[in-house]
C-alpha cells in the first residue's frame, strides 16, 4: 500500500493559482503568478526537500503535468530535477494527447488512483494539481496533507479544495519560516464534529 502525500501552496485568502511563475496559469486574467517566489527561504526550501526526500512517484492532474513537463526535462545537472525526471509520473486525465515526459502513465479516473495506491511502490506525491485534490480527499485517498500558507492576500484567483467533502484533520507538525510562511502537516481524523455555544434554557 502506497502513501499519498498532497501539498498546497496557498495565500492567506486561500488562493493557489500560479504560485511559481507569471506564466504558470493566467486563466481568468490572473496576473499575480509567482507570488511565492520572494518568500521561499531556507525554512520553506528545507521542508520541501524533506517531502521529496528518498524515492517517490508523482501523481498529477493534466494541467500541472503539462506545466512540469515543459520545465523539468530542460534542467540537467541538478539533483532535485533529476529526481523529478527519474520518477514515474501518473497523470489523471481524460485527454488522448500523448504524455511526452519520460516514464509517464495515464490514469483514467479516481478508481485507477485507488488501484495504484493498493500496489507496492514508493510514496505518491501530489503537488499543484488543485482540481485533483477534492476527488482524492472525497475518496479518502490522501494520507498526509501539507499546507504552506504565505503572508499574502491576493484577492482573486483559484481557491484551494473547491467542492471537497467535509472532513476533520489532525495536526502532525508545524513550523513558521523566517519570512512568515506557516507550514502545517495534517493527517485525516474522521468526520467533522459540531457543537453549539448557545446557552441552555
* Tens digit of pLDDT at every position of the chain (201 positions): 999 999 999 999 999 999 999 998 899 999 999 999 999 999 999 999 999 999 999 999 999 999 899 999 999 899 999 999 999 999 999 998 899 999 999 999 999 999 999 999 999 999 888 789 999 999 999 999 999 999 999 999 999 888 899 999 999 999 999 999 999 999 999 999 999 999 987
Backbone angles phi, psi at 63, to 5 degrees: -65, -45
7 contacts 125 by C-beta, under 8 angstroms = yes
Sheet of strand 182-188, all strands in order from the earlier edge strand to the far edge:
104-107, 89-92, 56-61, 123-127, 4-10, 144-149, 182-188, 169-176
CATH class for the region spanning 4-188: alpha beta
190: how many CB neighbours lie within 10 A of its CB?
Answer: 9
CB within 8 A of 46, min separation 6: which ones? none
Q: For the chain, which residues make up each domain, given as ranges?
A: 4-188
Amino acid at each position: 500500500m502506497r502513501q499519498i502525500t498532497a501539498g498546497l501552496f496557498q495565500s492567506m485568502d486561500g488562493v493557489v493559482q500560479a504560485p511559481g511563475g507569471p506564466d504558470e496559469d493566467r486563466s481568468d486574467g490572473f496576473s499575480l503568478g509567482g507570488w511565492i517566489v520572494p518568500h521561499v527561504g531556507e525554512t520553506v526550501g528545507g521542508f520541501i526537500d524533506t517531502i521529496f526526500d528518498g524515492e517517490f512517484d508523482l501523481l498529477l492532474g493534466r494541467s500541472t503535468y503539462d506545466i512540469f513537463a515543459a520545465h523539468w526535462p530542460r534542467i540537467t545537472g541538478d539533483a532535485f530535477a533529476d529526481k523529478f525526471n527519474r520518477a514515474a509520473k501518473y497523470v489523471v486525465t481524460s485527454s488522448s494527447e500523448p504524455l511526452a515526459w519520460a516514464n509517464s502513465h495515464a490514469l483514467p479516473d479516481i478508481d485507477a488512483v485507488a488501484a495504484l495506491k493498493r500496489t507496492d511502490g514508493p510514496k505518491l506525491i501530489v503537488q499543484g494539481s488543485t482540481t485533483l485534490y477534492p476527488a482524492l480527499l472525497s475518496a479518502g485517498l490522501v494520507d498526509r496533507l501539507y499546507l504552506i500558507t504565505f503572508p499574502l492576500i491576493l484577492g482573486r484567483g483559484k481557491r484551494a479544495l473547491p467542492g471537497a467533502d467535509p472532513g476533520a484533520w489532525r495536526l502532525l507538525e508545524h513550523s513558521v519560516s523566517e519570512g512568515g510562511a506557516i507550514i502545517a502537516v495534517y493527517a485525516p481524523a474522521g468526520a467533522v464534529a459540531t457543537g453549539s455555544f448557545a446557552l441552555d434554557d
